Amino acid sequence: MPALGDFSRRVGINIETGGASEAVTLRRSEPMALTDFRCMTRFRVPFCDVDMLQHVNNASYVVWVETVRCIYFAEVLKESLAGANGIILARLELDYEQPLDYREEVAVACRVSRIGRKSFDFESEIWSETRQFRAARVHSAMVAYNYEAKTSIVIPERWRELIAAYEVIAPKVGKVGAALTHPIS
């Protein structure tokens, strides 16, 4: 039987319908060097993130990636999470590659890989620093959003400038690729 790391699962949620997309195996990408990510958080896996199968529960990966995105929003874009203008998740793709264990040292990192007119993409990776492997990779499509008007907005020019100045690897500019189907670009 192949090792768990030989399998790749994807979770996709459509924000408009709330429904799960079909599970599809994604092509594996080569892990990026952690030095390609400037926004990162490091911690030891807490007991509350371990499930009855004695490894980190799948849902914890989503929470960890959301946490590092919030750090990016606050520290790089210099925006309040409680402000009128923010970001909203439109699509989430997660490849689980290796299980993580209790008390393992973990690094969770993200970067903006594409920026469009109203949306941008985050690429995130979750690493075991204890065992030196990538445990998961995550693609998140985010939409600039006005929470008071309850509508998408054009990405502010100030955000674009901050992202361009911050990222080690310049984000691609343009519309969402054919693989993504959310309607806002």
Tell me the three state secondary structure of residue 151.
strand
pLDDT tens digits, 1-55:
233 333 333 333 333 334 443 333 334 467 778 888 999 999 999 999 999 999 9
Q: Which two tokens stand for residue 181?
A: 């189907």
pLDDT tens string 138-153: 999 999 999 999 999 9
- pTM of the prediction? 0.78
Q: How far is Cα of residue 157 from the mean position of the Cα atoms in its chain?
A: 22
- CATH superfamily, domain at 4-173: Hotdog Thioesterase (3.10.129.10)
Please state the domain extents for the chain. Answer: 4-173
Structure tokens at 92: 């989430």
To which residue do tokens 């459509």 refer? 14
Q: How far is CA 84 from CA 64, 81, 91, 122, in A?
A: 24, 9, 21, 21
Report the first-to-last Cα separation within the chain, whole angstroms: 42
Contact 67, 137 (CB under 8 A): no
* Two structure tokens written together for 45: 């896996």
d(CA 64, CA 69): 9
What are the structure tokens assigned to 158, written together? 């100030």
